[in-house]
Each structure stands twice: as structure tokens, then as C-alpha cells.
Amino acid sequence: MSEEIVSELMRQYVYRLAKAGQRADGRALAEPRPLSVQTGYVKTAEGSARVKFGTTEVLVGVKMAPGVPYPDTPNSGVLSTSVELIPMASPTFEAGPPRPDSIEIARVVDRGIRESKMVDVSKLVVTPKEKVWIMFIDIHVLDYDGNLFDAASYGAVAALGTTVVPAKTHGLGDDFALPVEHWPVSVTTAKIKDLLLVDPSLDEERMADARLTVTTDENGDIRAMQKGLSGSFTYDEVKRIIETSQQVGASIRPLLHP
Amino acid sequence: MEDVEHIPKKVKLIDEKGVRLDGRRFDELRPIRIEAGVLGRADGSAYIEWGGNKVLAAVYGPREAHPRHLQDPARALVQCRYNMAPFSVSDRKRPGPDRRSVEISKIISEAFSAVVIKEQFPRTSVDIFIEVLQADAGTRCAGLTAASVALADAGVPMKDLVTSCASGKIGGVVALDLNKDEDNFGEADCPMAVVPRTGDLVLLQMDGHLTYAEFQKAMGLSLDATRKIYEMQRDALQRRYSTTLEEILKEPVAPAQGRPEGSTDSIDSEFDMDLGGAGGP
């Protein structure tokens, strides 16, 4: 994703600003961009959300289908998350099979939802060992202006929160709302030299040395983490990032559920 | 096209009074709304809602053609990718191109090749991306109509916009702009695209069963409809660019206020002040 070249002028500009506690779009260093979430956007999906996070835009659809459970979890529904970085969203995205970038995003989003036990998968069993509900979360990136990890995660969580399981259509009883129990929120921080910036914009992301995504639940407990890029964090930095992620997460959580 | 479970087999698509399941008459379009310039990254973009269809189109280019061996030293390539989101249909579609979307991508590319002035941009590619977010039959027409606006939004020189619509036959009656149920259970569907200024047909497909007279009637309906849709396309572009003009005219009156020092805005306003100083008395 970071195939675009960042000019030295832009690097210096962003760093100089951040050193003074400022950012090009007027935010504070620990401030995410404005988030708007529109659920129920796609009528053909069982749950959906269109998320605008700054100018990054993501559309998430949840489809439910009956299927066979994994042999090691015969009494659980199945979660399947995929991200498509469609070439519409950025001049650097190309059509084709999923590449490492999109697989990483999908897995980090998946992990946040799975490990927080957001959905009670034990209630998605039709016949143990034979038939369970499969949740397909498809994340469609429409406009890429940085920090897809969080935009994708917010879209997926908001879409799951509105999902109705279409049991009637499949002759499996009455429709029911997906059993959602927790609300994980991921917050991504980028490190540029010695500075930490929450929710990096595209320019900030492209010059970041390291990246840390922290997913916390409503109790502030950590449910998933992912460090990325070739730079490193000190332990003190990691602790600061987690504390910020808890605070930012708490401010974002109310926007994700109706 | 795919899901049929909720409709009984022998449903009446059009009643004795000529009223269709969604309340339209045979020559009525579904509601259409077009917006130009909806995406930040793309060079040009457009969004269309056409009945239950929701489709985004984006254009990049003219830019370096990839793969390079496709480059044409005399003119630009026009390449379209039509894609359906997995959640856009009732039974989840597996991500990635299937035979249907490859075919649609090809004929849409060819339709736009007829209007883009390719000779101005040798060795480049004009890339058109159509994403179907929610499908309700007629997605290729909606996509093509939106992509046309996106091309204009990107400033790609064209002979004219391209406008698309379909007609078909339901319950023995030739009717305009079939929805999903009508497409599933109707007798014929005939999508077309036209260059309104010249009347040239740049896309034409048909499946089902039509007599020659019925075909002519269907084409008549579609041609009438494309005149209306053409106006909506032009209106979308005018709305987009008249607003921008207003914004540009407003800019020098209201200087950037309350922005942090050193933000892009204040650099711009410094630049404005310099210009003002040089031109001052």
C-alpha cells in the first residue's frame, strides 16, 4: 500500500507540525478523524454499514448462509472476513486475488471481532456438527485516505450490530437478530520518528515507521493487537498507545451501535 | 437474476390495466438519482441510484497503461472493470471476476472506446471502475450511465456522454427498464447504450424472445428514456461544477480562520496575501 512516494518536503512538514502537537488537518495527535456510520445501506445484505472516517470510505456487508461447521468447533457458528482493496479506491490498488495488505487487514478485523466474543457463536448452531450459520463479512474499500484497519473494523462491527439472520428464507425457523454481546473498537496509532499519531491520514501513514492497532472492549480490556511496518516501539510507547486506545475507543463505541 | 425463492412461479408481472408489480406503467423508468464527484482519490467519480440499484463508478487516467505490452503507441486504451460486491445480491457472490462480469466489462470498455478521444493520449490507459453495491437488474445500464458521468468528471475528452437503458418483455407486454423480478420471470431483456448527440448505438444485447416489431417497440422505449437520463447526467455534472465555482468565488472573501498555524490552509492564505501585496497600490 505504501508504494507512493512521499516528498521530503511533505515529510518535514508533517513532522515539524507534529513536533508542535499539530497535524495538517487540524487534529490533535491523539484525535481520530470525524466518523460517520450509516447502517442498513445495502438492502441485499443481512447487515451493512457505510463508514466515512475522515475521507476514507468503506462499505461493509454481512451475508449469512447455513453451512458445515469446522470439525474442531462443531458447536459454533463460523466467521469469515475478507477485504477487497478494489482499484476504485486508490491509484495504487490493483484488481486480482487478495494480496498481503488486504489479508492482514481482514485478519486483524476478524481477530478483534472473534477474540472479543462480539457475537455469541454458540447461538448460531442449527444442528451440532452438521449445520451452523456462517457469517460472511465482506469489506469493500471505496475511497482510501489512510487507516483502513480502523475504518474496516468500525464498518464490520456496525454491520454485525444490525444483522438479522434470515432463518425463514432458509426454512430454519424465525428470523432473529445476530446475538451481539460485546463491542470491540480498534484504534490504530502510527509512529513517525519519535512521535505517536492516532488514526494516521494517508500522508502520515505513508511516512510512518511503525504502526500499532489495539482493539479494546467496553471494559477497556485488550482483545487484539497488531504491530506493523519495519520500525519499532519502546515498551513505554506501547503502554501510552494502549491508554490512548482505551480513551479513543470509548469515544467511538457509541457511534457503532444503534 | 440469481435468486428466485420468494416469488411464486406463475406471478402476473403486469395486470389488465397495464400496471406492473411496482406500480409503474410499461413506459415508465424507475426513480434515478445521479451524483458526480463523490470520491476523493479517483480522478473522476459518480454515484447512481436507479430503482433498487446502487452503483459507484470511478475513473483514473489517462495514466500509464499496465501491463505495458498493451500500450498502444497511437492512442489510449479504455479499460473497464465491472464488479459486483459480494453482498450486492441475495445469495452472496464469491469475490472476484466471473464470466458474466468479464463479458460486461468488455462490452462497456468497447462502448466507451467509441466516444473517448483516444488519439490525444497515446500509450496511456483510461481506467473505468464500476462497483455494484446493491443489485436490482439493469446494473450494467446503471453502471455505464454513472461511468459516463465519472469520465466527464475526470475531464476525459469525449465526443459526448454515453447513456444506457434496457427494455424487455413481461407478461406479453414490451416494457421499459425491468426490475429484478421482471428480469427473472419476463420473456426478454434488451439493454442498449447510445451516444445521444449522434444516435450511435455503442452497446446492444438481447436475450429472450422478441418479434421484430416488439424489438422496434422496445428500442423506441429505450431511446425515449435515454433522452431523459441524458438530462439527468448533464444535471449531475452541472450541480457538481456550479457548486465548485461558487466555492471558488467565495474563497478570497472569507480568509481561513481558526485553523492551526502551518496547516495547508494557512500556507494557501499566505500565498494569497503575497499575491495581494504584489498587486496592491
For B60, the closest chain A residue by CA position comes to A91
Q: Is the CB of A163 inside 8 Å of chain B's CB atoms?
A: no
Residue B62: cis peptide before it, omega within 30 degrees of 0: yes
Are A79 and A159 in contact by the 8 Å Cβ rule? The answer is no
Contact A87 B95 (CB under 8 A): no
| Placement of cell 459518480 in the chain | B46
Contacts of A23 in chain B (CB under 8 A): 260
Q: Which residues pair with B100 in a beta bridge?
A: none
Mind listing the pLDDT tens digit for each residue in B20-29?
999 999 999 9
Rounded to a whole number of angstroms, the distance from the CA of B1 to the nearest CA of chain A is 13
pLDDT tens, per residue, chain B with 281 residues: 444 455 455 678 988 888 999 999 999 999 999 999 999 999 999 999 999 999 999 999 899 998 889 899 999 999 999 999 999 999 999 998 999 999 999 999 999 999 999 999 999 999 999 999 999 999 999 999 999 999 999 999 999 999 999 999 999 999 999 999 999 999 999 999 999 999 999 999 989 889 999 999 999 999 999 999 999 999 999 999 886 677 777 766 544 444 444 444 433 433 333 333 333 33
Task: For residues B176 and A103, give the distance between their C-alpha atoms in angstroms, rounded to a whole number.
Answer: 43
How far is B210 from chain A, CA to nearest CA, in Å? 31
Q: Do A138 and B92 touch (CB under 8 A)?
A: yes
Of B63, B95, B134, the CB nearest to A42: B134
Question: Distance between CA A139 and CA A112 in Å, rounded?
Answer: 15
User: Considering only CB atoms, which chain A residues are within 8 Å of B6?
Assistant: 169
CB pair distance less than 8 Å for B85 and A61: yes
Quick one: pLDDT at residue A2?
42
pLDDT digits (tens, 9 = 90+) for B178-208: 999 999 999 999 999 999 999 999 999 989 8
Q: Look at residue B178 and give its three-state secondary structure.
A: coil
Contacts across the A-B interface (CB distance below 8 Å): 102
Residue A196 CB neighbour total at 10 angstroms: 19
Q: Which residues, numbered 32 to 51 in chain A, qualify as contacts with chain B under a Cβ-Cβ cut-off of 8 Å?
A: 41-45, 48
Q: What's the pTM? A: 0.83
Residue of A nearest to B58 (CA): A88
Residues A60-114: pLDDT tens digits?
Answer: 999 999 999 999 999 999 999 999 999 999 999 988 888 889 999 999 999 999 9
> Which residues on chain B place their C-beta less than 8 Å from a C-beta of chain A?
5-6, 39-42, 45, 52, 54, 56, 58, 60, 63, 66, 81, 83, 85-92, 95-97, 127, 129, 131, 133-135, 259-264
Instruction: List the single residue in A with minimal CA-CA distance to B264.
Output: A24
Q: How far is A222 from chain B (nearest CA, A)?
A: 31
* DSSP string computed for B73-115: SSS-EEEEEEEE-TTSSSSPPPSS--HHHHHHHHHHHHHHHTT
Check CB contact of A120 with chain B, cutoff 8 Å: no
3-state secondary structure of B215: helix
- What local confidence, expressed as pLDDT, does residue B251 receive? 65
Nearest 10 degrees: CA dihedral of B10, B11, B14, B19? 160
What are residue A185's DSSP bridge partners? Answer: A216
